[in-house]
Chain A
Amino acid sequence: MLSELRQAVTLGDEVTIRATSDAPGELHLHGYDLFLELDPAGSVELTFVANIPGIFEMELEATHDLVLELTVSQ
């Protein structure tokens, strides 16, 4: 079972998500509809501006494991 990270940011912040994993896969940040391709060989990054307020879940696309809950508040 993968653990879940909770992170709060402010609307307008530039957010970076960095991920390492032991197997290939894909992360999906819902709402923003952004995807991050995991690479067992190294760390991968996703940078975006948090321009939509709300609570957003990031899931492991294949298993729907919730890995991150991102809160974008004002």
Chain B
Amino acid sequence: MIRRLGLVAGVVGGSLAAAPPAWAHGVGGRQDLPIPLNWSILVAAVVLVGSFVALGSMWREPRFDTQLDPVPIAIPGSRLLAGVLAAGGLLALVVALLGGMIGSQNATRTMSPYLVYVLFWLVLPFGSAVLGNLYTPANPWRTVARAARMPDKPVPPRLGVWPAAWAFLVFTWLELVAPTGGEPRTLSIAIIAYSIWLLGWIVPYGADGGLRVADAFTAYNRVISAIAPFGRDPDGRMVWRGWLRALPKLPAWPGLTAFVLIMIGTVTYDGLSGSARWTDWFGATARQTWFGSLALVGVTVIIGIAYYLASWAAARLGGAATSTRHVADRFAHTLVPIGLAYAFAHYFTLVLFEGQRLASTASDPFDRGWDLFGTADWAIVYWFPTTAIWWVQLGAIVVGHVLGVVLAHDRALVDFPKRNAVRSQWAMLGLMVLLTSLGLYILAEG
């Protein structure tokens, strides 16, 4: 029993280079909220329910889930851009791979953790959500497989994106649970293991088929980029199709529902595991790898069960002869904006602040005292106003869920008799309100 505790806390220096690796738990912390959490949740719930009511009375015909009418657009230099992305992807892979071999193991002074956890994991998908899929042209494994002219063979349809979904879960485990997940050496080993995994799929099915089935990041960026107004038509030409329009057109690959649920579940685990409540409940056990692994899967499974319950209710209330599983698959795309919103709300400050280390570590990628571009001494500038962070997070969560409700309503008009479309979504609305509250709670208390 501690009776006397002497505690001194103070500033010993200005911005220095030795920060704790922030991706260990994304960005959390009980924020100094500009409006109280209860009010935020109330506002979000009112906006959601209000949108739902408005949709029921004003949105009576499907608008998203209709024939696409893509307009071809010419983007000058798009071939050059694709070439630059491909070269950048290869270079990043080589630098990240070498990081654990020739560099120091100081995670904050070596480039590879920033390449993997900021550029590859956050910046590319966020960019894909606005500009269209940036990952496919940048994908270094695709570049190599294409150069090697691996023959394409038909992929068994039942595989869908299941292997990619498992790979995604393993990657998030590496980021959020593995004790040394942020160390350059671990990343080098992971890159080698992942390259072997992909090779095992590219050899039998070719570059496009193999990556589509097994590459977690191909699937992730493919799903996220369906939000973007730009895309490619089947002939590979750039088209403008409008925001969100490609989401209802995502192919019904087996495993896609699980993939989207894993996207949401793993970010939720990230937030929950960093919250004060979590350590209150589980104490030191929460830091054990076995517990983190179980909890990562457990949180994802709970989110999945909640979604299947809402789908079950939709199947019952919708009045169409359909199964829970079919409904769950048909509405999986409506969760994509929510998954992106979670990721964005959690990690955008990581991109804004820690992302700046991409510039400083680029000058000295292996922590060897180099200064290639004269940026090695750049310190992080915390330029984004603290008070605005919560507004961005609140905005992202609310907009993500409202878009989910809109897309679900749109799909319900297609899949169910029109008079039942609104009531089929009651349980889904309940789930959205629940997820919004949970998401905001996690962000505020994380």
A interface residues, Cβ below 8 angstroms from B: 2, 5, 7, 9-23, 25-26, 28, 30-34, 38, 43, 47-49, 51-57, 59-61, 63-64, 67-68, 70-74
- Known A51-B353, A52-B22, A53-B386; judge A5-B13 contact (CB<8 A): no
When the two chains form their complex, are residues A28 and B279 in contact, meaning their CB atoms are under 8 A apart?
A: yes
| Interface pair B32/A54, CB less than 8 Å apart | yes
How long is the Cα–Cα vector from A11 to B32 in the complex, in angstroms? 13
| Interface pair A19/B11, CB less than 8 Å apart | no
Which residues of chain A come closer than 8 Å to B389, judged between CB atoms? 53
Which of B9, B29, B382 meets A5, CB within 8 Å? B9
A49 with B354: CB separation less than 8 A? no
Residue of B nearest to A72 (CB): B29
- B15: interface (CB < 8 Å): yes
Per DSSP, chain A at the interface is strand
Q: How distant is the Cα of A47 from the Cα of B379 in the complex, in angstroms? A: 18
Find chain B residues with CB under 8 A from A55 CB. Answer: 29-32
User: Considering only CB atoms, which chain A residue lies closest to B275 in the complex?
Assistant: A30
Question: Which residue on B lies nearest to A40, using beta carbons?
Answer: B2
Q: Which residues of A contact B403 (CB under 8 A)?
A: none
B31, A23: Cβ atoms closer than 8 Å: no
Report A63 CB to chain B, min CB distance, Å: 8
| Cβ 8 A contact of A23, one of B1, B14, B29 | B1
Contact with A along B6-31 (1 / 0, CB 8 A): 11111111111011101011011111
CB of B158 within 8 Å of the partner chain: no
**A-B CB proximity, top 5 nearest:** A31-B29, A54-B29, A49-B19, A12-B15, A20-B6
Min CB gap B388→A, angstroms: 10
**Given that A30-B30, A32-B29, A34-B20 are known contacts, is A22 also in contact with B3, CB under 8 Å in the complex?**
yes
> How many Å lie between the Cα of A15 and that of B7 in the bound state?
13
B29 touches A53 (CB 8 A): yes
A33 touches B25 (CB 8 A): yes
Nearest neighbor of B29 in chain A, beta-carbon distance: A31
Name which of B2, B4, B12 has the most chain A CB atoms within 10 A of its CB.
B2
Residues of A within 8 A of B24 (CB): 33
Pair A31/B274 contact, Cβ less than 8 Å: yes
Q: Which residues of B contact A18 (CB under 8 A)?
A: 6-9
Known pairs A51-B354, A53-B386, A73-B386; A12 contacts B20 (CB<8 A): no
Q: Does the CB pair A30–B5 fall under 8 Å?
A: no
Does chain A have a CB within 8 A of B446?
yes
User: Which residues of B241-294 are within 8 A (CB) of A?
Assistant: 274-276, 279-280, 283-284
A47 CA to B6 CA in the complex, in Å?
A: 16
Output the least CB separation between A47 and chain B (Å): 7
**Chain A residue nearest to B16 in the complex (CB):** A14
The reply to whether A74 and B9 contact each other, CB–CB distance below 8 Å, is: no
Q: Once the chains bind, are A47 and B12 in contact (CB under 8 Å)?
A: yes
Chain B CB within 10 A, most for which of A2, A11, A53, A55 = A53
CA distance A18 to B18 in the complex (A): 18
The residue of chain A having its C-beta at the shortest distance from the C-beta of B381 within the complex is A12
Instruction: Kindly state the separation between the CA atoms of A34 and B30 in the bound complex, as whole angstroms.
Output: 14
Contact between chains at B12 and A57 (CB < 8 Å) = no
